[in-house]
């Protein structure tokens, strides 16, 4: 029989407790802040200001530095993320061949713009630079899977898969 992972029901307090344990374990290691942030994001899902303050306080690192590192690296997020990440290429070839129309269609279908997440946390939309599929532009990726020569109609079918 398959059991449901208990972390799905974990409360915020329990998550903070786990993060505190991670901080205790890592804080004296060199370059620990990035590792702590990675693991905290893994546990909490994203890094809201409240959590940044908690990390700053527990590590005795100024909040401005914690926040600076989070803003510098694109893989850290201060907003809740969706289950699926859609990235639309806006490199030159994709832009010229309709990348912007794809963005508009996503906005029409899901009601979100670049950098936003649907209220049901199903999708997060981001834009990206060229991924080397220019010959088959416009390209998008969903959770890393590349879709080429996407057009607004095709897009609807692709999103249905998710």
Which residues contact residue 105 at a Cβ distance below 8 angstroms, ignoring those fewer than 6 apart? 152, 155, 156
Q: Please give the helix or strand (H or E) that residue 58 lies within, else none.
A: helix 49-59
Which CB atom, from 40 or from 99, has the smaller least distance to ligand FES?
A: 99
Indicate the residue among 93 and 142 with the shorter CB distance to ligand FES: 93
Across 4-120, where does the E strand assignment appear?
Answer: 84-89
- Binding of residue 159 to ligand FES (CB under 6 A): no
Q: Which one, 61 or 128, has the nearer CB to ligand FES?
A: 128
* Cα dihedral 50→51→55→57 (10° resolution): 20
- Using CB under 6 A as the binding criterion, the count of chain residues that bind ligand FES stands at 12
Q: Is 51 in the site for ligand FES (CB under 6 A)?
A: no
Sign of torsion over alpha carbons 84, 90, 93, 96: positive
Q: Tell me the closest approach of the beta carbon of residue 113 to ligand FES, in angstroms.
A: 19
Asked if residue 89 binds ligand FES (CB under 6 A), the reply is: yes
Q: Which residues bind ligand FES (CB under 6 A)?
A: 89, 91-94, 130-134, 137, 139
């Amino acid at each position: 029989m398959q059991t449901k992972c208990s972390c799905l029901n974990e409360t915020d307090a329990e998550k903070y407790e786990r993060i505190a344990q991670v901080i205790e374990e890592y804080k004296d290691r060199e370059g620990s802040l990035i590792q702590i942030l990675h693991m905290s994001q893994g546990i909490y899902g994203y890094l809201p200001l409240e959590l940044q303050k908690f990390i700053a306080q527990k590590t005795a690192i100024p909040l401005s530095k914690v926040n600076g590192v989070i803003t510098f690296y694109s893989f850290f997020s201060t907003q809740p993320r969706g289950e699926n990440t859609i990235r639309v290429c806006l490199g030159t070839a994709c832009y010229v061949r309709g990348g912007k129309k794809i963005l508009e269609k996503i906005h029409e279908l899901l009601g979100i713009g670049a950098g936003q997440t649907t209220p049901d946390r199903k999708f997060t939309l981001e834009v990206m630079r060229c991924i080397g599929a220019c010959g088959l532009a416009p390209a998008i990726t969903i959770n890393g899977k590349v879709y080429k020569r996407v057009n607004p109609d095709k897009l609807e079918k692709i999103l249905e898969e998710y």
